[in-house]
């Protein structure tokens, strides 16, 4: 009886063991142990502050900053692993020796749901460069890129807050930094005053933006999350603002200023509400002060290039894409003289070759005549005879002297030429 009970117990134990073996066998068949290899797992630096007391910063070496990781485990676990689930770190407290070249640090790898003993990493040690820490102070330039505000508005003022930053990091990266830029989008903006958030971008001396990896080594003081605020103002545009000009000095004895012609003579500006209101009170006119056009001892016409941006107050500006230059053409005439515009159709061309056609390059020529003051009003372009002699001129472009015949009592002040082009005549 007792022996029978022992046999039954033994059978039960054997059955349990067999069941477990069968379960393990089935499980191994359904969820076997597999090996999977992950390539180019990026290595990150840990405990970089370990070197900070000596003002040193560790850098991973380009091209040697990844490792190959081999993972072993149940297929149900390993098959679900992604590259992002595997973390590789180089702990600076584990530097093998700072006196060796190159400096090597062990790489520690962890994987979600994987035992450390089932992870193999190659290489097991990774090279780091240790550099001195350096700081640089840079002002922040604000850029709107290709964006533009509302068509009836211009960018008035853009002010970064803070206006400058201190950047610290490895010496080789700091030495490359050329400028710091805050890029903002102003598309369709027309607010008089608004605050816009911006991410800083750092550029090297080749005007290339620093890579995300380079930025990881940098510490930017005065700001957090690499974000600053831009105080932006947008000014309303005023069109058809007239320009007038004064002059200073006196021309040469016997001469006088006849006129000042401005190109352009109207412009568009943008400004604060207060500035535009003041401009309206001044007849929507900008005046070029006399000091910019000096006629002292002048005895002939001259041109003066004036930069309007130098004349505008701080709360006014020229609209975008407008050239700031104004060209002032100053006519200086002898006393009792006047300019008369004569159409080139009045010019009589003598001795032109029959196989050539004549083309005038200008529509008018200017005849400067002198007479008694009371007679100047009586002379008109129709009373002036003009002719050119084309003897010896072949095909091509020329400046040809013009013979001018004036009525009695009038004198030609200066000789003139006309631009012409002689081209092959059309076949008849």
Domain ranges of the chain: 33-123, 132-235, 237-334, 338-424
**Beta strand segments in 246-395, E:** 255-263, 266-271, 285-288, 302-307, 316-318, 325-334, 337-343, 347-350, 356-360, 364-370, 385-389
CA distances 199 to 176, 196, 226, Å, are 20, 10, 6
pTM: 0.66
Using alpha carbons, select from 295, 282, 275, 300 the residue that is nearest to residue 244: 282
CA distances 216 to 120, 200, 414, Å, are 27, 14, 74
User: How many Cα atoms are found within 13 Å in the side-chain-facing hemisphere of 60?
Assistant: 23
Spatial CB neighbours of 376, under 8 Å, sequence gap ≥ 6: 336, 337, 338, 369
Pairwise CA distance, residues 41 & 59, whole Å:
17
Per-residue pLDDT of the chain in tens (428 residues, 90 and over written 9): 555 555 666 766 676 777 676 666 555 556 788 889 999 999 999 998 888 878 889 989 888 999 999 999 888 888 888 999 999 999 999 988 888 888 899 999 998 888 888 899 999 999 999 899 999 999 999 999 999 999 999 999 999 999 999 999 999 999 999 999 999 999 999 988 899 999 999 999 999 999 988 998 899 988 888 889 999 999 999 999 999 999 999 999 989 999 999 999 999 999 999 999 999 999 999 999 999 999 999 998 999 999 999 999 999 999 988 899 999 999 999 999 999 999 999 999 999 998 899 999 999 999 999 999 889 989 999 999 999 999 989 999 999 999 999 999 999 998 999 999 999 987 65
Q: Do 33-123 and 132-235 have matching folds? A: yes
Alpha carbon 144 to its chain centroid, in Å, reads 8
pLDDT of residue 252: 93
CA dihedral 155, 157, 162, 166 (to 10 degrees): 80
Q: Dihedral of CA 244/246/252/256: which sign?
A: positive
| Domain 237-334 falls under CATH 2.170.120.40 | yes
Q: Cα angle vertex 366, ends 365, 369, to 5°?
A: 140
Pairwise CA distance, residues 393 & 396, whole Å:
8
pLDDT of residue 250: 94
Answer CATH for 338-424 from 2.170.120.30, 2.60.120.10, 2.30.130.10, 1.10.1060.10: 2.170.120.30
pLDDT of residue 412: 93
pLDDT of residue 320: 86
| Domain 33-123 falls under CATH 3.40.50.300 | no
CATH (residue range 132-235)? 2.170.120.40
pLDDT of residue 226: 83
DSSP code of residue 112: T
274 SS3 class: helix
């Amino acid at each position: 009886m007792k022996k029978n009970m022992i046999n039954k117990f033994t059978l039960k134990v054997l059955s349990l063991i067999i069941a477990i073996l069968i379960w393990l066998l089935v499980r191994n068949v359904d969820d076997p142990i597999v090996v999977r290899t992950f390539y180019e797992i990026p290595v990150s630096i840990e405990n970089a502050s370990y070197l900070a007391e000596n003002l040193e910063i560790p850098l991973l070496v380009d091209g040697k900053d990844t490792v190959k990781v081999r993972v072993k485990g149940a297929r149900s676990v390993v098959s679900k692993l992604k590259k992002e689930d595997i973390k590789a770190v180089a702990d600076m407290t584990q530097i093998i020796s700072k006196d060796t070249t190159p400096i090597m640090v062990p790489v520690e790898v962890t994987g979600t749901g994987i035992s450390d003993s089932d992870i193999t990493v190659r290489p097991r040690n990774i090279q780091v460069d240790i550099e001195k820490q350096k700081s640089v102070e840079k002002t922040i330039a604000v850029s709107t890129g290709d964006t533009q505000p509302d068509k009836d508005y211009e960018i008035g003022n853009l002010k970064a807050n803070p206006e400058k930053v201190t950047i610290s990091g490895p010496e080789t990266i700091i030495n490359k930094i050329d400028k710091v830029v805050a890029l903002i989008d102003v598309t369709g903006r027309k607010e008089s005053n608004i605050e816009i958030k911006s991410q800083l971008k750092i550029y090297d001396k080749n005007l290339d933006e620093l890579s995300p990896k380079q930025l990881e080594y940098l510490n930017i003081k005065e700001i957090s999350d690499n974000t600053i605020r831009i105080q932006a103002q947008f000014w309303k545009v005023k069109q058809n603002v007239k320009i007038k000009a004064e002059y200073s000095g006196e021309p040469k004895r016997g001469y006088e200023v006849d006129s000042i012609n401005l190109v352009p003579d109207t412009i568009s500006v943008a400004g604060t509400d207060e500035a535009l209101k003041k401009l309206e009170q001044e007849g929507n006119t900008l005046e070029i002060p006399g000091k910019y056009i000096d006629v002292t001892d002048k005895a002939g016409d001259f041109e003066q290039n004036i930069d309007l941006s130098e004349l505008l107050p701080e709360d006014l500006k020229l609209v975008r894409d407008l050239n700031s230059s104004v060209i002032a053409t100053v006519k200086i005439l002898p006393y009792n003289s006047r300019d008369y515009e004569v159409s080139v159709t009045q010019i009589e061309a003598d001795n032109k070759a029959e196989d050539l056609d004549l083309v005038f390059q200008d529509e008018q020529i200017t005849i400067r005549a002198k007479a008694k003051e009371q007679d100047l009003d009586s002379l008109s372009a129709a009373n002036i005879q003009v002719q050119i002699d084309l003897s010896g001129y072949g095909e091509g472009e020329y400046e040809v002297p013009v013979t001018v015949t004036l009525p009695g009592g009038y004198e030609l002040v200066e000789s003139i030429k006309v631009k012409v082009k002689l081209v092959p005549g059309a076949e008849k």
